[in-house]
Amino acid sequence: MRMLLLLLVLNLAACAQRAPHDDGLYQALGGRPGITRIVEGMLLNIAGDPRIVRHFAAVDIVRLRDKLVEQFCVEAGGPCTYSGASMEESHKGQQLTPSDFNALVENLQDAMDAQGVPVPAQNRLLARLAPMRGQVIGR
């Protein structure tokens, strides 16, 4: 009887830990096609931004685009897997400043505005990306 009760409790606990998948942000961003347009817009904005464009001079932009799409997709709750390096590893040796980070965020916001992403959805994505700030600045 105890074993049956234990199995029942463990099964209920496992079910409770499986939260329903929330892809509302992913949908608000337009799914993978919308995220791709946002990332491409951000990269185009960066290309014209004298504050930070130098940080991207030696970067494989196609690979960067693909990894950013994966990452944003994951952060938005989409059905993606991020296959890139950690934020710490990919920004190692760049010595990025808070101003550099803020400029990138401005370029992302401009790209989302251009795609007509509602401000609440923009804020949700930015809130999910914000913890990465400490992983890239000063590395």
Q: What is the pLDDT of residues 20-73, one digit of tens each?
A: 457 899 999 999 999 999 999 999 999 999 999 999 999 999 999 999 999 999
Q: What is the pLDDT of residues 82-117, one digit of tens each?
A: 998 888 888 888 889 999 999 999 999 999 999 999
pLDDT band, residue 10 (cuts 50/70/90): very low
pLDDT higher than threshold 50 for residue 5:
no
Residues in a beta bridge with 65 = none
**HSE-up of 14 (CA within 13 Å, CB side)?**
6
Paired residues of 137 in beta bridges: 96
Check pLDDT > 80 for residue 3: no
CB 91 within 8 A of CB 139: yes
Instruction: Assign a CATH topology to domain 22-136.
Output: Globin-like (1.10.490)
pLDDT at 114: 98
Closest to 138 in 3D by CA, of 105, 100, 85: 100
The vertex-52 CA angle with 85 and 70, nearest 5°, equals: 30
Condensed to tens digits (0 to 9), the pLDDT of residues 15-34 reads: 433 334 578 999 999 999 99
- CB of 126 closer than 8 Å to CB of 105: yes
**What was the pLDDT predicted at 96?**
92
The residues, ordered by sequence, that sit 6+ positions from 121 with a Cβ below 8 Å of its Cβ are 25, 28, 29, 112
Supply the pLDDT for residue 92: 87
Predicted confidence band of residue 122 (pLDDT cuts 50, 70, 90): very high
Task: Provide the pLDDT for residue 21.
Answer: 56
Using CB atoms within 10 Å of the CB of residue 66, give its burial: 0 to 12 exposed, 13 to 18 middle, 19+ buried: middle
